[in-house]
Copies of this chain bind each other. A is one copy, B any other.
Amino acid sequence: MNKITRIPTPEDAEALIREAGHRLTPQRSLLLDLLRSQKTFLDAEQLYALASQHEKDISLATVYRTLQLFVELGLVEARYLDPEHKREYYRIAGGLEYHYMTCRGCGAMIPVDPDIIEHVAQDWAKAHGLTLLTAHACYTGYCQECTKKRQEQAAREDLSG
């Protein structure tokens, strides 16, 4: 996964998609434009609704498939922001890194200082009149063993490909 550190221009994105051997379809362009124009995270359904305003025959499956592709390419970031972690939210990659607290009452998303966690967070919450029910970090990646395997795999592909 590429680590994109600024919001990609349409040209950046187009190049990235093409270099990875994918086609630039009208649907992909549209979804990319919509994502680039958004300030906040969207779920697939919301993006689908937006896209439908421009191209009425786009399908939800395409939205999901496109989001998946964009995430793989590092063009889009996916997060579980819902209070119950039911659905995933997406935004264009390269924005400021945010952590959110989602309000279980109204669903509001409150940005949280990235250095804050656990006991620190509890103090912070109290100081701001918030009620913090759960605070935990979510990490994903590859463990030592899998990291090694993947490095070996990459080395083999370099030799053979």
- Give the interface of A toward B (CB within 8 A): 1, 79-80, 83, 85, 88, 97, 99-106, 108, 110, 112, 114-118, 121, 125, 128-150
Contacts and interface: CB of A to CB of B under 8 A. Distances in A.
B149 A139 contact: no
B106 A140 contact: no
By Cβ-Cβ distance, the 3 closest A-B pairs, closest first, are A105-B146, A101-B139, A103-B143
A137 B136 contact: yes
B139 A100 contact: yes
B136 A99 contact: yes
Nearest to A146: B105
Could you say which of A97, A121, A147, A148 has the most chain B C-beta atoms within 10 Å of its C-beta? Answer: A147
A100 B140 CA distance: 9
B137 A103 contact: no
A18 B142 CA distance: 44
A80 B83 CA distance: 12
Given A106-B146, A130-B147, A118 B97 contact: yes
Contacts of A145: 105-106, 108
A150 to B, nearest CB: 7
